Amino acid sequence: MLVVGAGTGDAAVTAARSGAEVVAFDVSDAMLDRVRARAEATGVHVATRVGDVRAPGAIEPAAWDRIAAPFLLTCIAADELDAVVRTLAAGLAPGGTLAVSDFVPAPRGGLTRGLYRLYYGGPSLLFGALARNPVQPPHDLTDPAAAAGLVVERRARVGVYGIGPRWYETVVWRQGDPPVD
């Protein structure tokens, strides 16, 4: 399993604890140091690889049965999103799955939309300043995923710690028909 945008390693270590062979992939060596420390403290092995998913050839084609991208795509600029989703899809072996967990696009409606903007906006500004991520609303991945030949297998929306508004979503895609160019 490849975990792209591994961050501090929560998803990578959780997958390794369930018995998966995991490679954590991140643009930051410092974050991969945290992944290695977390894995060691938990008693599991997680291989690490530094790289930028936006770079050509960053992920080997058709090499992975499972790819996870936890809270990665919100950090990708809108003009790079299609290419990154295609790179992730191309990295899947036949029948492979891509799991993306991230913020959902802003809900419609006055008060709920305003609260969401406050909730998402603060961290977005902070991460934008600290990590130089683009400050932007969360992406709707429907069209880029379909263009990359991905089909929704399942999706689930959750609230913070399982309560409150459901402003996070995990979508698992599988390879469908090859993308049309």
Can you tell me the mean pLDDT for 167-173?
Answer: 86
52-106+137-175 topology per CATH = Rossmann fold (3.40.50)
Q: Residues 17-69: pLDDT tens digits?
A: 999 999 999 999 999 999 999 999 999 999 999 999 999 889 999 999 999 99
Examine the pLDDT at 181 and tell me if it is beyond 60.
Answer: no
Half-sphere exposure in the Cβ direction for 176 (13 Å, CA): 14
Q: Binning pLDDT at 50, 70 and 90, where does residue 96 land?
A: very high
Which structure tokens are listed for 94? 């036949």
In the chain, the amino acid numbered 20 is A
Taking the model in full, what pTM does it have?
0.84
Residue 16 and residue 59: Cα distance in Å, rounded? Answer: 20
- Give strand pairing partners of 4: 25
Residue 105 and residue 91: Cα distance in Å, rounded? Answer: 26
Indicate the range of 30-34, 124-128, 145-149, 152-156 predicted with least confidence: 124-128
